[in-house]
Structure 1
Amino acid sequence: MSNSYAQPILRTGDLSEGLRIVQKLLGIADLTDLEVDFDARISSAHSLSGVMTLLPDADWWAEGERDGASDAGDDPMDSLPIRLRRWAGTPETVEPFLKAVGDSPATVRWDFSAWPDAPEVGLGVGGTRGAFVTLCTHARDLDLEEPAADCTVFVHVKQVEAERAPWLAAQVGLQVIGDLVMAPY
């Protein structure tokens, strides 16, 4: 299994604009087997309460040099700040998740079967490990390490199909705005 590569195509202070671009990208994708993955760094009890109500089976672990993890049966409230992940969720959970995390750094990644043919850049259908869209909020990077007040939309492609990223951006009236980077998962 290899990682996808991601390239930012939109940075905005308007979360609804970020979600609109995600929906436009999903509109050209093969959404067979669509799943949504959630990732957040949570340090407030308020955000944690909302996220755990929405995603009670999420995996989490204490950040830093501290103990505490979901697989040990620990209480996440006693372990703040934590890193939380939930795989294979539903699209209907996205907006409630974003509301619950508040200003905590978070990503939502839509995972689907394939990107369409991109004949203008010599590419056929693009899939397996290279067909994702990620919305990153309150962080500038996919690892959630660089705080930001805005959100960023990333398109994911296979490294050998790097030219697909600018092509995808153009399909929604945008252009790439940063480097192609290996995605963390």
Structure 2
Amino acid sequence: MGFSEPNPFDLNSKGEKELIALYENRGRHGRVEGQIEVVRAMWLRGYRIRSYCSVLPWTPDRVSQVIAPFTVESRRCQDSKRTDFSTAGGGIYKAKSEPDARWVDTYTAVKVPGLNAHFSGHIREPGDEAEFILNIKSADIKEQFTYDKIQTALERWTAVVNDACDILEKRSNQ
């Protein structure tokens, strides 16, 4: 007599303590994908998940670390009318069921007369890959980058910030 596959868990029927126990049990058995599944279920139900994020390939902290050099560039443009760093982009305030909702929406931005741009890092749901977006609103340009192209993205962002600084310098010399 052979063994049959176990019935899949209905994570929606589990309470917070049961989900935590399931997360820990899957960890003991090296089932990282199963742990990620539990973390995602906890997030969807509004439970705090920060202490369970170590199994995730991308976390809010990691996105902030990747954005940090972009923020350094943004801070060179001292008279910008937008914030140079925020972890509270608009996507985190949307209902999780909305297509443009985000678990992580971190960005840096510059805005001067004639130029409005931001560089953002997004994670749709816990366990998803991060995506990075350069959005130059004033020129209707939107470029998406994966992590392996982040150096190219930084070069593009540096050029945008240089343009913003040049605009401000020209205005101050008038």
Greater gyration radius: 2
Q: TM-score, normalised by structure 1?
A: 0.32
Q: TM-score, normalised by structure 2?
A: 0.33
Per residue, is there more helix in 1 or in 2? 2
Per residue, is there more strand in 1 or in 2? 1
